[in-house]
Amino acid sequence: MKLYHALQSQGFGTRKNCVARVRAGEVAVNGVACDNPEAQVDPAQLELTLDGVTWPYREKVYVLMHKPAGYECSHHPSHHSSVFALLPPPLVQRGVQCVGRLDQDSTGLLLFSDDGQFNHRMISPKKGVAKVYRAVCADPVSDAMLVALRTGVQLNDEPAPIAALACERIDAYTLRLTLAEGKYHQVRRMIAAIGNRVEALHREAIGNYVLPATLPPGAWRWLEDDDLKQLEQSPKNRS
């Protein structure tokens, strides 16, 4: 693979821009400066350094973000900033998409990828990848409310009741819900259906992968092979 093509594939601009940056001496390959845009590079173990930042070559991108409140999961947000503004420009340039969304007031684990098959597996109801949410409610959560969420509640425009895969009360006002679907505002709508209201919503896990406690709101990190495997495993009991 030619160096300028590797740069272009990783989101560093058009062919013309990548060629110009290499010729200007702005690029290092595995730590060694290179000013030949036609130089052949091996994608295996390739690291590209630009502007003092080293980027591992990745055929497909898989990253997670600790989404903060007040950001919309859209390239064209209506009222707030976009979560894409929190990602480095090369990731946005290469076309990563949100893998399922969190509304502007919700926080927690948010995935991004440019792998369409991966995105489909994560969000398709047929695949049944579980998402785990922590919801703080406006009113105390009764035993009857827990039973209703476990057995199924009827939502508007849905043909049949929808039940949580698991539901537990963490404290008087806080629930942990595990869902297989990812319908629009599902957690908020389910809790409204039991006569309560969500005050705060946080996605803490997908599959068996838990949002790292060390990742602050607004920060992102790469997902590695072991992380991707955990995303498709059944969630462990976190009670």
CA 88, CA 142: separation in Å to the nearest integer?
44
Alpha-carbon torsion angle 100, 181, 221, 75, nearest 10: 10
The one catalytic residue in 35, 51, 103, 171 is 103
SS3 227: helix
Q: Any catalytic annotation for residue 103?
A: yes
Residues 6 or more apart in contact with residue 107 via CB below 8 angstroms: 66, 67, 68, 69, 200, 201, 202, 203, 217
CA 31, CA 97: separation in Å to the nearest integer?
30
CA 141, CA 146: separation in Å to the nearest integer?
7
The residues annotated as belonging to the active site are 103
